Structure 1
Amino acid sequence: MKNEVQIGCSSFNNRFWKGIFYPDNLSSSKMFEFYCQHFSTYEFNGSFYKFPTVRVFQNWYNKTPENFIFSVKAPKEITHFNKFEDCQDRINEFYNVCETGLKEKLGCVLFQFPPSYHFSIEKLHRIIDNLDLKFKNVIEFRHISWWNQEVWDTFRENNITFCSVSHPQLPDTIFTDFPLIFIRLHGKSKMFYSSYSPEELLYIKDAIHLKSAFVYFNNTASEAGILNALQLKHMLE
């Protein structure tokens, strides 16, 4: 992917989107097919809650168009329960499942740590040591202590992307000097619900102009996520 912007959402099966994005009479079983007609990427979050299988990802691979891209979120057993401690085999298994099932449709592999996971040099080194650097690794932190120069420099040295995250308790920085730009928009005022204004979307558009970027709207508990995704997509056309 060279100087290409991928815009999508972090979920798709949403009754609030009926009559706004999905036709009123569209069945739930046809929603993802309809989504794929309008977007070329999807952030797969189901793997966060349940460790995926090759068969699951093969099914997703088979029902998406050519050139469709998935970003996949790592299971919480790795990031939230074990926190990268003593789980190298499980991390490797996750990579293998993603690569085998999604093949060339695998985009980024996202590891999101919980707010309780504070910065330390030891944790930083553990993250680096456990990642397979041949993948497009993206790390999302939820504690501000990770917003520091040592983390950013170490990530760049290892070709790892620091996730730009829009979150009520975190800085709005869009990081443009990593291997790629990866933006997760959770809703700034009310998480998962709040909409982004045209001015906020224009700021994102200008930041990612002529760069390689993935932008995912996770403010999908209302109609905001799909409307914002369509608005930003239109701005970039």
Structure 2
Amino acid sequence: MKNKILIGCSSYNNRYWKGIFYPDNMTASGMFEFYYQHFNTYEFNGSFYRFPTLKVFTNWYNKSPEEFLFSVKAPKEITHIKQFSDCENLISEFYNVCKMGLKEKLACVLFQFPPSYYFTLERLHHIIKNLDLKFQNVIEFRHESWWNDTVWDAFLENNITFCSVSHPQLPQTIFKNFPLVYIRLHGTPKMFYSSYPLQELLHIRDETHLKSGFIYFNNTASEAGILNALELKNLI
């Protein structure tokens, strides 16, 4: 995937997109097939709310095109409840389900920590210790204290990607020196709702030129996410 940016969304089953992206008469069962005719990657967020099973991911593998790629978000039990403490077996099980179910269609494994999870050296070392570095790991923080050279250097040494995040309360840095560019666009100023203007999409395009990675639109509580994704896809 050298020098290639893949664009997608963090959800697809969206009634707001009927008549804008999906045909007016599109049923929920036909939405994913329509989605993958226009995009070649999807950020699977359902695993955050419910621990995934091999059967679930095998089904996604079977119903997606040959070169389609999934990024998968880790369950909140790991990142928000246990916060990587005493859950080595749970993390290992999650990795195994992702790899066995999605096989070569597994792109990145995303771990998103809560806003209350601030930086300490102990936490940084604990994260790295618990990750399986054979995977393309992406870490998304929601506390600004993690934006520091100590974290970035440690991630680079261990082939871990620091997630670039567009979020109302966080720096808008687009990180280009990690193993991959991985951008999550949540919507600003109104999270999950706001649309990105053309000027900002052009900036993202220019910043990621000749880079490899993924850009996912998570401003999907309205029609903004799909319209932005289509617009940026046409720009790149």
Using structure 1 for the length normalisation, give the TM-score. Answer: 0.99
Q: CA separation in 2, counterparts of 1:25 and 1:51?
A: 32
Structure 2 counterpart SS, 1:202: helix
State whether structure 2 residue 101 is matched by structure 1 residue 121: no
Alignment map for 1:1-237 (pairs within 5 Å): 1-236=1-236
Q: Deviations over 1:72-109 (max 9, x none)?
A: 00000000000000101100000000000000000000
Q: CA separation in 1, counterparts of 2:27 and 2:172?
A: 37
| Structure 2: runs of 5+ lacking an equivalent | none
Q: CA separation in 2, counterparts of 1:164 and 1:180?
A: 10
Q: How far has the Cα of 1:188 moved from its partner?
A: 1.2
Structure 2 counterpart SS, 1:58: helix
Q: How far has the Cα of 1:4 moved from its partner?
A: 1.0
Letter in 2 for 1:88: E
Structure 1 counterpart SS, 2:220: coil
Q: How far has the Cα of 1:35 moved from its partner?
A: 0.1
Structure 2 counterpart SS, 1:194: coil
Q: Deviations over 1:26-57 (max 9, x none)?
A: 11110000000000000000000000001000
Q: CA separation in 2, counterparts of 1:204 and 1:175?
A: 11
Q: CA separation in 1, counterparts of 2:173 and 2:125?
A: 23
Q: RMSD across aligned C-alpha pairs, in angstroms?
A: 0.4
Letter in 2 for 1:7: I
Q: Which runs of 4+ in 1 moved over 3 A?
A: none
Q: CA separation in 2, counterparts of 1:143 and 1:78?
A: 17
Letter in 2 for 1:171: P
Q: Deviations over 1:95-129 (max 9, x none)?
A: 00000000000000000000000000000000000
Q: How far has the Cα of 1:68 moved from its partner?
A: 0.1
Q: How far has the Cα of 1:2 moved from its partner?
A: 1.1
Q: How far has the Cα of 1:228 moved from its partner?
A: 0.1
Q: CA separation in 2, counterparts of 1:108 and 1:4?
A: 15
Choose 22-31 or 99-108, whichever is displaced more: 22-31
| Structure 1: runs of 5+ lacking an equivalent | none
Using structure 2 for the length normalisation, give the TM-score. Answer: 1.00
Q: How far has the Cα of 1:3 moved from its partner?
A: 1.1
Q: How far has the Cα of 1:21 moved from its partner?
A: 0.2
Q: CA separation in 2, counterparts of 1:193 and 1:110?
A: 22
Q: CA separation in 2, counterparts of 1:47 and 1:201?
A: 28
Structure 2 counterpart SS, 1:209: coil
Q: CA separation in 2, counterparts of 1:82 and 1:189?
A: 30
Q: CA separation in 1, counterparts of 2:207 and 2:53?
A: 36
Letter in 2 for 1:204: I
Number of residue-to-residue matches in the alignment: 236
Choose 94-103 or 20-29, whichever is displaced more: 20-29
Structure 2 counterpart SS, 1:38: coil
Percent of pairs identical after alignment?
74
Structure 2 counterpart SS, 1:190: coil
Structure 2 counterpart SS, 1:78: helix
